């Protein structure tokens, strides 16, 4: 099932540009905004999947208007990040 609303369940998912290029992972979701870390590393990825992610200064905010669709494994953007 595809959707376009980001939730806490999306933490740890890959974020992809329209051409399929991975630009990072969602490390945290707060107030309807996801935060994309461009290089979370294995520890950051695991923490995000467990809901223990932290927003660092290199994380980019991502609002729902930037999201084309969300699948079971990834978040696809409307444009580039």
Residues 6+ apart with CB under 8 A from 81: 15, 17, 23, 24, 36, 60, 62, 66
Alpha carbons 55 and 2: distance in angstroms, whole number: 26
Q: What averages of pLDDT result for each successive group of 10 residues across the chain (81 residues)?
A: 79 92 89 82 60 66 86 90 63
Domain-wise residue ranges, the chain: 8-77
């Amino acid at each position: 099932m595809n959707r376009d609303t980001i939730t806490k369940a999306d933490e740890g998912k890959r974020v992809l540009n329209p051409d399929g290029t991975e630009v990072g992972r969602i490390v945290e979701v707060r107030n309807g905004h996801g935060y994309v870390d461009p290089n979370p590393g294995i520890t950051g990825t695991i923490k995000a999947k467990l809901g223990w992610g932290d927003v660092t200064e290199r994380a980019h905010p991502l609002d729902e208007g930037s999201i084309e669709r969300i699948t079971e494994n990834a978040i696809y953007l409307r444009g580039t990040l």
